[in-house]
Amino acid sequence: MKKTAFILCVFSALMLTTCKKMPELKVYDLKLTSENVAYSQTSAEIKVEYDYPTDLQYVNVTMSESNYFGYSIVAQSEIIDSVFIANFVDLHTDKKYYYKFEYSNGVNVVTSEVHSFYLDAALVTLPTVITMEVSEIQGTSAICGGEIIDDGGYYVTGRGVCWSTHRNPTIFDNYTTDGMDTGSYTSTMTGLSEHTVYYVRAFAINEKGTSYGTEYEFETTEGGGVVIVPTVTTSNVTDITSTSAICGGVVANSGGADVTARGVCWSTTENPTISDAHTSDGTGTGTFTSSLTNLTPQTTYYIRAYATNEVGTAYGEQKIFTAGSDITSPTVTTNDVSSVTSNSAVCGGNVTSAGNGTVTERGVCWSISENPTINDSHTNDGTGTGSYTSNITNLTENTTYYVRAFATNEIGTAYGEQKTFTTEQDSPNVPTGAINGLFTINENGDQVWFSQGNLQYQASTNTWRFAENQWDYVGEDNSNISETYSGWIDLFGWGTSGYNHGAVCYQPWSITYNDNSYYLAYGSTTYNLYDQTGQADWGYNAIYNGGNTINSWRTPTKEEFAYMFYTRETSSGIRFAKALVNGVKGIVLLPDNWNSNYYNLNETDTQGVDFSSNTISAADWGEYLEANGVIFFPCGGRRHETLLYDIDFGFYWSSTANTSGNVYEFFFSDNFVYAANEQGNRFYGQNVRLVRDAQ
């Protein structure tokens, strides 16, 4: 870790005491530029020079992440030759820090103005780690390891190897813990199963996250290293003609030694061996395909897959087939899809050749995955050659399907070219300013649309709007909140809709009172935003890019937030995921009809994961997620009077009050997702995301 201290020189002046003159200090403000940020990510050094060292008795430096110094660190500086120096270590990157001086000459104590600086983590990257080759492979153990060649500009807090029986293992699978430093290390994997293929990668962790080395594949032995013959199965015989056929097999286990030959063998007598006709289809474990040639028409054959290692040759189960005459697969074309509704469509095909055989079945098959077969949904539309029409039914609305015509004869099933279509959306028209996705909010099946972005307000023009992009948030400019501010704000005290509904503080720019009692909807702790006239709800306003009519939108209740995040049933079975969208941290909420084929999301419906579990570009967000109705709640922080803090957290008001004086909120961070019973003080400034009922 590179640790070069930032030197902060800050200008101020000591006040005069009643008995003697205080020394005048030279205090220099902190300056951070892009060319020196890389020299330190976790420490700062504050250095001050002054003119009269004999008069100054002590100096304290106080540092905090907030300018009201609620939680702070105090360092008593060391005074050397008219200079005092205070060092702070173990600071956090991507944080703003505030600091002030307290010093005395024995007569009085003086406190300086508050200064600030920002520790930038732009140059912290993931570590670089290399996976070592696997060695000493036994039935239940093996040796691996890694080498960390670059810590990414921050401390390495964990390293080891992770392994699984599936590809791309992570630290959520089996793993070792092998220290916290750069350089080489050795890892011992235990508890393995005999005769099993494993995948292993080295990993390294720093503040940025977890990185992985190259993946290696290995197979454990049996009985502590005893080698046996391989394990192989025989595939079904397909594409049978008068002189050829296709078969193959799967070598599931090498037996603890290299598989040097594999293929299929066949004969007109039972239990063929490699002494009979056979193919040679490579080496090693896995699936292989074999082409049989020079068969005799209308002859019955027996066939088995085989695999050979140093112990001997093993055979799969025996299959039987009969070579055909000159029959070939049928020829069929797929018609264009027409008459598409929300749950049905019309297609069909044309069997132009029976392949010198008899077409016993024809129709179309369809799926939400490409290249559907008769194992998927399909129609049965008669026999023989010629054109036919197929009615496709029981489809899901607003869903993309793939369809192919098919025809079956003695040889097998042939398919026409693939066509694609999307069913219609069987729902009300999407209102202005809404994302085209529906979300069920209760057991009655009621649904809502979400606004296109967080609610924003401009005091100078008394204008409400929705943010242009779902990831937009105002951030630090919320500190400029005032009755005449010409910029936009998006952090509001509870019930500050601008209507005088009975609260003391009801204007969007209200920051005056640090007391919940000034933010009571309709003047009582028992009322929710939607009670009485409903004017305490921000959605009562006319929102210029949301239809510009009053009382069209509303704030979700705490029960609705909880139902959408924890209970609601969706087509995909998942409801939310944490993500970085266009570089902004937040929560992704999936609509009722979300299809996992639209976009692959990681760590879904999981609270304790980082936002970096899913990194989504602006282009992918627009094309694959927002276009399919997905909602994004960005982390926008929280405002206390004019101070912004917790910028990496998300705080969203619900419309539900708590009789204790607080109100319910939707809150999330790197570690939590609280959508049910989390409460907050009404005087905090928090984000608002509005919904509109689908009629």
Exposed/middle/buried for 635, CB within 10 Å: 0-12, 13-18, 19+? buried
User: Residue 413: what are its φ and ψ, rounded to 5°?
Assistant: -110, 130
Q: Are 230 and 272 in contact (CB under 8 A)?
A: no
Task: Name the residue with higher pLDDT: 36 or 632.
Answer: 632
Residue 618 is which amino acid? A
* Strand, coil or helix: 562: helix
Q: Is the dihedral of CA 151, 153, 156, 161 positive or negative?
A: negative
Distance CA 567, CA 544 (A): 33
Neighbour-count burial for 71-91, b at 16+ CB within 10 Å, e otherwise: eebebebebeeeebbbebeeb
Q: Is the dihedral of CA 583, 584, 585, 589 positive or negative?
A: negative
What confidence score (pLDDT) does residue 264 get?
98
pLDDT in tens, 561-588: 999 999 999 989 999 999 999 999 999 9
User: Taking the complete model, does pTM exceed 0.95, yes or no?
Assistant: no
| Euclidean distance between the first and the last CA atom of the chain, given in angstroms as a whole number | 59
Distances (CA, A) of 335 to 351, 397, 412, 418: 11, 22, 21, 10
Q: Is the pLDDT of residue 17 over 60?
A: no
Strand boundaries in 323-428, DSSP class E: 331-334, 345-353, 361-367, 377-378, 386-392, 400-408, 413-415, 419-422
Domain boundaries, the chain: 7-119, 128-219, 231-322, 331-422, 429-695
Instruction: Tokens for 413, please give them.
Output: 């099933």
Distance CA 46, CA 36 (A): 16
pLDDT mean over 333-355:
94
pLDDT in tens, 86-111: 666 667 666 777 777 676 666 667 77
Q: Is the pLDDT of residue 602 over 70?
A: yes
What confidence score (pLDDT) does residue 40 get?
53
Residue in 334, 419, 440 with CA at minimum distance from that of residue 371: 419
Q: Are 165 and 197 in contact (CB under 8 A)?
A: yes
Q: Are 347 and 392 in contact (CB under 8 A)?
A: yes
What confidence score (pLDDT) does residue 677 get?
84
Query: Model confidence at 139, in pLDDT bands (50, 70, 90)?
Result: confident
The CATH label, of 3.90.700.10, 1.10.1040.10, 3.40.50.300, 2.60.40.10, for the domain at 231-322 is: 2.60.40.10
CA 632 to chain centre: 12
Instruction: Tokens for 355, please give them.
Output: 């392949």
Q: Is the pLDDT of residue 20 over 60?
A: no
Judge: domain 7-119, CATH 2.60.40.10.
Answer: yes
User: Residue 369: what are its φ and ψ, rounded to 5°?
Assistant: -110, 155
Distance CA 663, CA 519 (A): 10
Q: Are 368 and 401 in contact (CB under 8 A)?
A: yes
Distances (CA, A) of 345 to 364, 391, 420, 595: 12, 6, 11, 20
Q: Are 92 and 44 in contact (CB under 8 A)?
A: no
Distance CA 78, CA 387 (A): 94
Question: What CATH architecture applies to the domain 128-219?
Answer: Sandwich (2.60)
Average pLDDT value over all residues in the chain: 86
Residue in 448, 449, 536 with CA at minimum distance from that of residue 496: 536
Alpha helices in 538-655 (DSSP H): 558-562, 618-620
Q: Which of 36-40, 418-422, 440-444 has the lowest mean pLDDT?
A: 36-40
Residue 139 is which amino acid? G
Instruction: Tokens for 609, please give them.
Output: 């994961």
Distance CA 227, CA 87 (A): 63
Q: Which of 226-230, 243-247, 586-590 has the lowest mean pLDDT?
A: 226-230
- What residues does 338 pair with on adjacent strands? 346
Query: Model confidence at 538, in pLDDT bands (50, 70, 90)?
Result: very high
Distances (CA, A) of 301 to 232, 234, 274, 537: 20, 14, 15, 79
| Count of positions (residues) in the chain | 695
Is 231-322's fold the same as 331-422's? yes
Distance CA 675, CA 607 (A): 11
**DSSP code string of 112-172:** PPPEEEEE--TT----EEEEPPPBS--SS-EEEEEEEEE-TTS---EEEEEEESSSS--TT
* Strand, coil or helix: 623: helix
Assigned CATH class of 331-422 = mainly beta
pLDDT mean over 193-219:
92
* Strand, coil or helix: 413: strand
Task: Name the residue with higher pLDDT: 10 or 188.
Answer: 188
What confidence score (pLDDT) does residue 106 get?
64
Query: Model confidence at 10, in pLDDT bands (50, 70, 90)?
Result: very low
DSSP 374: T
Alpha helices in 54-120 (DSSP H): none
* Strand, coil or helix: 30: coil
